[in-house]
Amino acid sequence: MVRTASLAAGLVLLAGCKPPPHPVERVEVVAASLAEAQLLALTPAQLQSELSGRLMPDRGFKQLESGSRGVDGAVRLTLEVDAVQEQTNASGLPATEEVTASLGIRRSTEDGVERIALQATRSQAVEGDALEGRQDAARRALDQVLDRLVKEARVQLDARKRDDARLVKDLKSQDPLIRDAAMSALVGRRNRAVIPALVERLRGDDPLEVRRAIGGLVELQAREAVPELIEISRGKDPGFLRELVYALGAIGGEEAQAYLYTMSQGHDQPAVRDAARQALEEMQRHGRLTGPSGPSRNASLAPGGHP
């Protein structure tokens, strides 16, 4: 009897540790995004139903009754289909249908309106050459995308309820979703303890994660990360370099300024030179210049630059 009582108490304690489901006030679908995703052959109402069907308490959500307003912590979800693309395979393997979708999360807090933007991409092999086979593959990929977005949304919202000390600890979690959510929450709170984790993320191979890390460093005005941002410019294409120079201009500081000057004078791509000049102008406009621009000590790292 004692053992049974102890077990029951333990189960109650575990249940109490599980965060309560997040209330959902509204679920919307960007109808225009489906016009570019005709292969799915879904109406906005059908896609809304697909998403709503996943918002169950065991997945961390509870949908409120229609017309409910003012519920503390209630979120509004907006789903948009970004792309549905067929990926051919030169090796003779079956083609795949790739689906990318974004989920916007919005809720009102004591500090104002909080927004979280998520995106997921999944692919599924096409079985057969007929249109029905392509559509089936796209639908299966969409199912996986929706599952991923709902799971990530729950983890992100759970993180917003944690204190900074717990979030810093979560930066070392084995679960990448928990690490990402901790980074996002700490950046939102302007906690500079997240900077080393963002710098580490710059060294990854996922372009989307690298861009998110750059965005976080810009938001934190992390001038200590400028050397690493300059380092990752090695061998990058002009499109990425333009994004990078704008980010460096937004962060500012002597090292960023000198590097941008080198890029504006010596890069072999006109678009990159123009972007660097614009970034320097923005630095001047916002008072982030530290003095007259001159050659950078990192000039040798500038692709196309002349040391």
Q: What SS3 class is residue 191?
A: coil
More confident residue, 100 or 95: 100
Q: For residue 303, what pLDDT is reported?
A: 43
Backbone angles phi, psi at 181, to 5 degrees: -65, -40
pLDDT in tens, 117-146: 999 999 999 987 788 999 999 999 999 999
87 assigned to some structural domain: yes
Asked whether residue 122 falls in the same domain as residue 181, the answer is no
Q: Which domain CATH number covers 245?
A: 1.25.10.10
Instruction: Write the DSSP string, 110-150.
Output: TTEEEEEEEEEEEEEE--SSSHHHHHHHHHHHHHHHHHHHH
CA angle (139, 141, 146) in 5-degree steps: 95
> How far are the Cα atoms of 10, 30, 40, 156 from residue 35, in angstroms, in the given order?
52, 10, 10, 29
Overall pTM surpassing 0.85 (yes/no): no
6 assigned to some structural domain: no
How far apart are alpha carbons 183 and 5 in whole angstroms?
40
Q: What is the mean pLDDT of residues 16-21?
A: 74
Asked whether residue 219 falls in the same domain as residue 278, the answer is yes
Report the range out of 34-38, 62-66, 165-169 with the highest average pLDDT: 165-169
235 assigned to some structural domain: yes
How far apart are alpha carbons 180 and 152 in whole angstroms?
9
Q: Which domain CATH number covers 67?
A: 3.40.50.10610
pLDDT in tens, 161-205: 999 999 999 999 999 999 999 999 999 999 999 999 999 999 998
Asked whether residue 189 falls in the same domain as residue 276, the answer is yes
- For 290, the domain range is 164-301
Give residue for tokens 């799915």. Answer: 40
307 assigned to some structural domain: no
168 assigned to some structural domain: yes
How far apart are alpha carbons 269 and 276 in whole angstroms?
11
Q: For residue 165, what pLDDT is reported?
A: 97
8 assigned to some structural domain: no
Predicted confidence band of residue 66 (pLDDT cuts 50, 70, 90) = confident
